[in-house]
Structure 1
Amino acid sequence: MIEYGFRLPSSHDNRPLKFEEFERHLDKTILVSATPGKYDYEKTDKKNIVEQVIRPTGLVDPIVEIQETKGQIDDLIKRLNVVIKNGHRGLITTLTKNSAEKLTEFLVEANFKVKYLHSDIDTLERIDILRDLRLGVIDVIVGINLLREGLDLPEVAFIGILDADKQGFLRSTTALIQTIGRAARNVEGYVVMYADKITDAMAAALSETERRRNIQIAHNLKHGITPQSIVKAVKDIAQHRSTKLKGGKKSDATKVPKEERLRLLAEMEAQMDLASQNFEFEKAAELRDEIERLQAEWGL
């Protein structure tokens, strides 16, 4: 086919570029990341690195305390009671599913309004749990890897990190910095690491957090800024769904083959799951609403 002109020569190897091939096409490149990794630093000259750690809200990185593991649950309960009494919420991260489940059961028995957020929870329930936390229907969320980049909960003023001195990717320097940062949306936010020793990862995370605090505090003093908690509206997903269904444009199903409709829905569901995993819940909700609309319209 190529020889007789029916196909382009490129069809011999028709695929996306491999990363190494893509790199060869790069000349002058700007790398942007909230959490730059080893690759970013290796490819960038130190004098060309520009930091953006100053927040326009004036919020500083939270104070981080280290508490020994002996009596940690009693300490956790005392802190949660104070946080909730002040109208705020708490997040607790553990290392194993078993420990998260047991802690959740214990807190429920202690009359806390708490939910356990884990990987088996589907997209819609995950959205509802986080929304309930923001509205005060629940006061505490327990999880393993729920404190990831992009989780924006201004109502959270306390984060408890259990087993902070254990080795692993969930307790690496980057992971700890990201987790600590989740408490930086609230002016009263603070973090407690429960540990019996200070690991290299903990020391690095504490040092970086303190460095960022000092930069922000100096900026606030220089410009007379008073830190203010982030104010973010809690969108009513059910209302959003109703509006979308009433006002959405209808497509002509007769013009779309059934196989194509099924393929499109499967692709949208994959995008919805990915958005949920990345904590892009508003995007996930919009995709879910559109999927439901199309399923109803197409009779699927």
Structure 2
Amino acid sequence: IRPTGLVDPKVVIKPIKGQIDDLLGEIKVRTERDERVLVTTLTKKMAEDLTDYFVESGVKVRYLHSDVDTLRRVELLSELRAGLYDVLIGINLLREGLDLPEVSLVAILDADKEGFLRSTTSLIQTIGRAARNVSGEVHMYADNITDSMMRAIDETNRRREKQVAYNKEHGVDPKPLRKRIADITEMLVRESEDTTELLASSRKRSSAPVGLHTKSLVQRPQEELLGLIESLTEQMREAAGQLHFELAARLRDEIAELKRELRDMGIAGVK
């Protein structure tokens, strides 16, 4: 129950076909109301391509990628709230505790692609990013409804109904959050420190540092590389299970790079 009376957002499922044009239309509606939009994708390439397409379409948009340091993240999020641009695209920019009251729409692309970034927990957190605005909505673009989607939507509806009943009983009129733009700085610093600490721990537990790809790494025995992939995969699952989705995404990219190197070395059956 929120004292502000804000209810969880309405969740709408839309088909993947025509999703970009549909999203452009939804963005136009929000920008005319001086509201902001968050868009989450599954891959770096899609995030980059979507950003380029939106720029060409006249949308004021930014892409928040994993290499952006904490200070720049603070600047980007502050600029979003201040209205210097209207749309922020990223792979995992929707962690718990990220309050952006100006955001009235969260768009989840490829919502039906199962994985830790589209798990029930991750979807619930993502949906919650639109719960800071009285007009908040979440649009899931998907051709199928996965179990994770259904559980996340059911939980959101349960919370929504509970809050609506509370508001009605106590005469609460939902009020938008008025969080100061500077308030996000401390949260982002904590997030960065947390990820750094987790990565340091991962380095100690694996036979090679996470995020380091050199010729010497490629020259390691094939069995050792396979063992490293197995170790990092276990760490990725553990990180996702503990809701450390930023770390999990970085580990996923590390694993993919190692597998590419193994394929280049002629190892068959590595997928």
What TM-score comes out, normalization by structure 2 length?
Answer: 0.68
Aligned partner of 1:91 in structure 2 is: 38
Aligned partner of 1:62 in structure 2 is: 9
Residue 273 (1) aligns with residue 220 (2): no
User: Structure 1 vs Structure 2: percent identity of aligned residues?
Assistant: 58
> Secondary structure of 2:127's partner?
helix
Larger radius of gyration: 1
Unmatched segments (≥5 aa) in structure 1: 1-53, 241-269, 279-300
Task: Evaluate the alpha carbon distance shift between residue 86 and residue 204 of structure 1 in structure 2; reply closer, same or farther with a 3 A threshold.
Answer: same
Please state which structure has a larger fraction of its residues in helix: 2
Task: Evaluate the alpha carbon distance shift between residue 61 and residue 271 of structure 1 in structure 2; reply closer, same or farther with a 3 A threshold.
Answer: closer
Q: Distance in 2 between matches of 1:276 and 1:128?
A: 19
2:61 to 111, 114, 121: 114
Alignment of 1:170-185 (within 5 A): 170-185=117-132
Unmatched segments (≥5 aa) in structure 2: 197-243, 245-271
Aligned partner of 1:158 in structure 2 is: 105
- Give the counterpart letter for 2:70 in structure 1: T
> Secondary structure of 1:170's partner?
helix
CA contact (8 A) 1:114 1:139 kept: yes
Q: Distance in 1 between matches of 2:70 and 2:48?
A: 20
**RMSD of Structure 2 on Structure 1 (CA):** 2.0
Moved over 4 A (4+): 275-278
Q: Deviations over 1:94-128 (max 9, x none)?
A: 00000000000001111111110011112211111
How big is the shift at 1:272?
Answer: 8.1
Aligned partner of 2:153 in structure 1 is: 206
Which shows bigger deviation, 225-234 or 67-76?
225-234
Q: Distance in 2 between matches of 1:104 and 1:134?
A: 18
Q: Distance in 1 between matches of 2:49 and 2:193?
A: 28
> Secondary structure of 2:8's partner?
coil
> Secondary structure of 1:157's partner?
strand
- Give the counterpart letter for 2:36 in structure 1: R
Task: Evaluate the alpha carbon distance shift between residue 236 and residue 273 of structure 1 in structure 2; reply closer, same or farther with a 3 A threshold.
Answer: closer
How big is the shift at 1:234?
Answer: 2.2
Q: Distance in 1 between matches of 2:190 and 2:157?
A: 37
Alignment coverage as a number of residue pairs: 194
Q: Deviations over 1:31-90 (max 9, x none)?
A: xxxxxxxxxxxxxxxxxxxxxxx0000000000000000100000000000011101000
